[in-house]
Structure 1
Amino acid sequence: MFRFLLFLPVLMNFTATYSQSKKTIDSINTLYVQGLNIPQDSIVALFQQNLKDAEKISYELGMAGAHSQLSLVYAYQGKYEESTKSSIEGIKIYEKLNQLDRVADYYAEMGYSMKYRDMEKALYYMQKGKAIAEANNFENELKDIYNNYGVLKEINKELDSALFYFEKGLQIKLKLNDTIGIPYSWSNLAGVYGLQENFSKSREYFSKSLQQRLQWADSLGIAENYTQLGEVFVAEQKWRNAIPLVHKSLPISKKKQYQNLTQYNYKLLSDIYKKLKNTDSALYYFEQYAAIKDSVHGLKVQERIAALNVEFETEKKQNEILQQRAQLAEKDLEVRRKNTFIFGSLGLALILGLLGYLLYNQQKLRNRQLQKEGELKTALAKIETQNKLQEQRLRISRDLHDNIGAQLTFIISSIDNLKFGFTDISEKLGSKLSNISSFTQQTIYELRDTIWAMNKENITFEDLQARIANFIEHAKNASEKTDFSFNIEGNIDEAHVFSSVVGMNIYRIIQEAVNNALKYASADEIEVNISEKEAKYNIEITDDGIGFDQDNTELGNGLNNMKKRAREVGGTLQIKSSKKGTSVLLKVPK
């Protein structure tokens, strides 16, 4: 620590002496903020001086880089107003310089920083940055954007999508050998596994991340991992195992002025001591938590940040309007020049005809303008109706999740209490209770799938892929003797959009076919293959089980429901079965 403090004045003096050097400014802007083991205020001073040096020589790229670093440091300190100001200033410069990779990164960082304050804005800016990076294949930016987009999905309880994007980000980081970024992906994957109650896998990934960060001396990352490992023990109700891990994190987050993590550590300790009925410690840590929370999340700070975002969007729209006016002025000037030439060439006889023509054109333009305004009003009304429908859909899905989901969980808990609360319960009754519990658990899974579909107006192949992959992962855990494989041809367009009804029906057909193979086929291998042929998507589920006699077997509700769903999506369903196995082929028109 002492050596780094000696280094800082030397570095500040170096930048002051060579303030005219663009290379020096760029080298400071590329410093890894999380790895600087110096006080946060000193880091702020370093980048503020670098910003001044860039401004002295009008080096716009250096100014934008300094704003980017300041935005990140302010966010760690919980100074969200300053962070937002720096982000907006940086975006303006990068857009002016047409640095699309930095624009994409900036929008994504703005979205990520708003995740706990304004999720709607967070998704808006994150998706804006993601779209720019994907359109230009900016892998260096996408590896972090996918990772942070997964965090937003996790906060929204979309765990399947969160795992999907975390894995996408991790694959790019492994490809680029991003040794600093890889532990962040491991930590995020571990967090989702924890939410899925796969605690052993969660602890494994957190520990991998911690070991990597200890090698790199990534102070903030180390603090986060200690807290996260403590959270795993809390989820397992091993309260005393969690306490030392949180106490390892707390002094690091305080020293680095990482206000969000410090606040969370205090709250976590308060909750743990409350569970242990140690009221003095619980009260002490809750008071520390409340003091930091008031300073970080004050109402006035939130209002100022919202005002900055409105000001930023308004300024962009005003600039676009000014550009359109300039273009219209140029076109108007060109028309006037042509008119003057015609007037001078043809004389007075043509002036009257030209005036009539101009009046006719003006009326035509006015009519077209009125038509456009009418179309705009209709479009706005349609958008408003769609927004209201989406809000109603979200409200219904929350009610289903919070009320029916909670009630079904209560039923399962009550049945388990009945089974283990009475020692003299009969075997037949116990079996019946187990069947009811399994049926109720299955109903919860189907309810989650329904809520997932309701929350989406449209479902892409990308969404469907993540959902099917998660379902097959559960199927693997349920049947260890059966091998599963899930394959999608490379020419499939992952961005292809289905309506939520069509997407859900396709998912249900795949789910029913796999469940039938597990229950009745005694199969060693089950495959799900998706391909495209003759303007149709071919979705085939095959197994190598015992098959069934289609002519002499009465079709149950499951197969009939599959055929009904296929008709509803305008597709066809073909079922072939023999002693060597069964094939279910769904063809859906593009």
Structure 2
Amino acid sequence: MLRWCIYLTILLTATPFGLFSQNTIQEKIDNLINPERSKNSISPEQRQIEVDSALALSRKYGYAAGEVNAMREIGKLLRLKGKMEEATSVFYACIKMADSLDLPLELGKSYFSLGDTFFKTNQFEEAYEAIITALKLFEKENNFHWKAGAYNSLGYIYINLGQPEQSLNHFKKAYHILDSLDSPEKRSPLFNIGYHYLMRGNAEAAIPYVEEGLEDCLEQRDIHCIATSYGNLGYAYGLLGNYDKSIASYQHCIDTAQKYNYPHVLAITYKDMSETYEKFQMSTLALKYYKAHNELQDSIIGAETKARIAELNIQFEAEKKDRELSMQKIEIENLQHHARYDRLQKMILIVGGLLLVIITWLIYSKMSADIKRRREIHKLEKELIAEKLKEETLAKENIQQELDYKSKHLTDYAMEIVQKNQFLENLVEGL
């Protein structure tokens, strides 16, 4: 009874610590994997180290969901580097693993990442299938956050499939879910809905969504979103013919974009302002901003081209280094293989030599034993022969003695008869 009490005490005191340790490890892994970290000022190299660490820890401690998440983040990093095929392979591996481990939410996230990759490579049909599969899994798990993300992605896909109404419908579904969750991510569908209406010239329908998005951007202090929203408002008010509000909104956009260095936003805004000024028949200003748009666009393209060239050079050097490392790795593996082969040969020779010695010793031992046994047999045979000869000699001697005895007895008997005959003859003669 005492033993069971002690065991129960140990179990009750040890289990919370074990759970605490496991939970702490999982929290550490989840923190390393957290996609929000990649949005911070962390270099891709540092992010790669974090994700690799998370993957190693997940495998070490058997945290299946963490392993799938880490692999998915690795796929995203590959996608960021433009390695789409490798990223796709990783996402397929995530899908297979999540499915085998019965992790429906992770399975849905993996399909979502796969669909996003297909979308980025203009494989819209494949993207649609993957996102639809993800959406069904999110619905099954009642995960509204990811469900909204799937609807928003489907909105983008429908645009590229030439189905604008379906696109708008899915953007609205995403918005309503995120709005009910009071999620800051509702800005994305808000922006998409507003942009959809603007592109179709429906400024009245667009403005409420753009203004709500702007309020959310201001609340969250998302500078890029603020600049873009002001630009969209300027375009919307321009469509409505409200010159003052249009120019004021454009100016807010320009000031913000210039202050925080968003050249792409500036270029688009200059183009939109040119169209707006042209609408108000202000040709000089329209031409001014059109030229500003072209100049800035050219500089952006030039900068992007230079950046792309630099990126390609870096990528080339990185790939060159990877190839060199791969060659070195292959060379090291070959050397290790040869070393293992040499060790194996030496081992075979040593073992072979030992076996030869053992076999020789066994043969020698057997032959020695056989010779010894034959000698013993020969000795025994000689002893048996000698014994037999001795017995035969004794038998002959006994027979000879018996013959001598019988011969003497017969001789004595004959002499006795002769004597008797002589006596009788003498007796007869006397008569």
TM-score of the two chains, using structure 2 as the length reference: 0.52
Matched, 1:85 2:55: no
- CA displacement, residues 128-172 of structure 1 (integer Å, 9 cap, x when unaligned): 132243255153222112223323333433332222111111111
- For the 8 Å contact 2:91–2:111, the answer to whether it is kept is no
Partner Cα separation in structure 2 for residue 236 and residue 100 of structure 1: 47
Offset at residue 225 of structure 1 (A): 1.9
Tell me which of 164, 183, 189 is aligned to 1:218.
183
Partner residue in 2 for 1:337:
347
- The structure with more strand, counted as a fraction of residues: 1
Kindly, what percent of the aligned residue pairs are identical? 13
What does 1:27-176 align with in structure 2 at a 5 Å threshold?
Answer: 59=25, 61-69=26-34, 72-77=35-40, 79=41, 81-82=42-43, 85-95=46-56, 97-98=58-59, 101-112=65-76, 118=81, 120-122=82-84, 124-135=86-97, 137=99, 138-176=103-141
Give 1:113 deviation, angstroms: 6.4
In 2, are the aligned partners of 1:108 and 1:130 still within 8 Å (CA)?
no
Unmatched segments (≥5 aa) in structure 1: 1-19, 28-53, 348-590
The 8 Å contact of residues 131 and 154 in structure 2, kept in 1 or not, is answered as yes
Q: Secondary structure at the match of 1:167?
A: helix
For the residues of structure 2 that align with 1:97 and 1:315, how far apart are their CA atoms? 31
**1:160-206 CA deviation, whole Å, 9 max, x = no partner?**
22221111111111222223211111222223234445343333322
Task: Give 2:173's aligned residue.
Answer: 208
Does the 8 Å CA contact 1:104/1:128 hold for their aligned counterparts?
no
Does the alignment pair 1:282 with 2:250? yes
Once residues 174 and 226 of structure 2 are traced to their aligned partners in structure 1, the CA distance between those partners, rounded to angstroms, is 20
Establish whether residue 238 from structure 1 lines up as the match of residue 248 from structure 2. Answer: no
Unpaired runs of 5+ residues, structure 2, are: 1-15, 266-302, 358-431
Give me the whole-angstrom Cα distance separating, in 2, the residues matched to 1:211 and 1:284.
Answer: 28
- Answering whether residue 210 of structure 2 is matched by residue 252 of structure 1, we say no
What is the distance in 2 between the residues matched to 1:323 and 1:294? Answer: 50
C-alpha deviations, 1:453-484, integer Å up to 9, x for none?
Answer: xxxxxxxxxxxxxxxxxxxxxxxxxxxxxxxx
Match of 1:33 in 2: none
- 5 Å-filtered alignment, 1:446-465, equals none
Query: Where in structure 2 are the equivalents of 1:118-517 lying within 5 Å?
Result: 118=81, 120-122=82-84, 124-135=86-97, 137=99, 138-220=103-185, 222-253=186-217, 255-256=219-220, 261=225, 264-265=228-229, 268-269=232-233, 272=236, 278-279=246-247, 281-289=249-257, 291-293=260-262, 310=318, 329-330=339-340, 332-343=342-353
CA distance in 2, matches of 1:140, 1:313: 35
Answer whether contact 2:33 2:73 (CA < 8 A) is retained. no
Q: Deviations over 1:379-410 (max 9, x none)?
A: xxxxxxxxxxxxxxxxxxxxxxxxxxxxxxxx
Partner SS, residue 145 of structure 2: coil
Instruction: State the alpha-carbon separation in 2 of the partners of residues 249 and 22 from structure 1.
Output: 46
User: Relative contact order: is structure 1 or structure 2 higher (C-alpha 8 Å, sep ≥ 6)?
Assistant: 1
Taking the aligned partners of 2:353 and 2:22, their CA distance within structure 1 comes to 60
Change (3 A) 1:93 1:203: closer
Superposition deviation, residue 230 in structure 1: 0.7
Cα separation, 2, equivalents of 1:294 and 1:201: 32
Amino acid at match of 2:350: T
C-alpha separation in 1, matches of 2:21 and 2:220: 24
Q: Does the 8 A contact of 2:128 with 2:154 survive in 1?
A: yes
Between structure 1 and structure 2, the one with the greater Rg is 2
8 Å CA contact 2:139–2:147 kept in 1: the answer is yes
Cα distance 1:320–1:235, how it changes in 2: closer, same or farther (>3 A)? farther
Letter in 2 for 1:73: E
Alignment deviations for residues 416-470 of structure 1 (CA, whole Å, 9 cap, x no partner): xxxxxxxxxxxxxxxxxxxxxxxxxxxxxxxxxxxxxxxxxxxxxxxxxxxxxxx
Measured in 2, the distance between the counterparts of 1:324 and 1:258 equals 54
2:224–2:257 CA contact under 8 A, matched in 1: no
The Cα shift of 1:266 comes to: 5.5
Q: CA deviation at 1:243?
A: 3.2
Cα distance in 2 between the residues matched to 1:345 and 1:252: 84
**Distance in 2, Cα, partners of 1:232 & 1:24:** 49
Contact 1:154-1:192 within 8 A present in 2 as well? yes
| Structure 1 residues 102 and 295: CA distance shift in structure 2, 3 A | farther
Q: CA deviation at 1:68?
A: 1.3
> How far did 1:248 drift?
1.8
Change (3 A) 1:342 1:186: same
* Contact 1:64–1:93, Cα closer than 8 Å, also in 2: yes
Q: Residues 318 and 183 from structure 1, CA distance in 2 versus in 1: closer, same or farther, beyond 3 angstroms?
A: farther
Q: Could you tell me how far apart the structure 2 residues matched to 1:268 and 1:214 are?
A: 21
Distance in structure 1 (CA, Å) of the matches to 2:333 and 2:195: 53
Q: CA deviation at 1:332?
A: 4.2
CA change 1:183–1:89 in 2 (3 A) is same
Q: Is the 8 A contact 2:193 2:209 kept in 1?
A: yes
Cα-to-partner distance string for 1:504-552 (whole Å, 9 max, x where unaligned): xxxxxxxxxxxxxxxxxxxxxxxxxxxxxxxxxxxxxxxxxxxxxxxxx
Per-residue displacement from partner, 1:295-317 (whole Å, max 9, x unpaired)? 999959x969x77x959978996
Pairwise CA RMSD: 4.7
Q: Secondary structure at the match of 1:181?
A: helix
Determine helix, strand or coil for the equivalent of 1:190.
helix
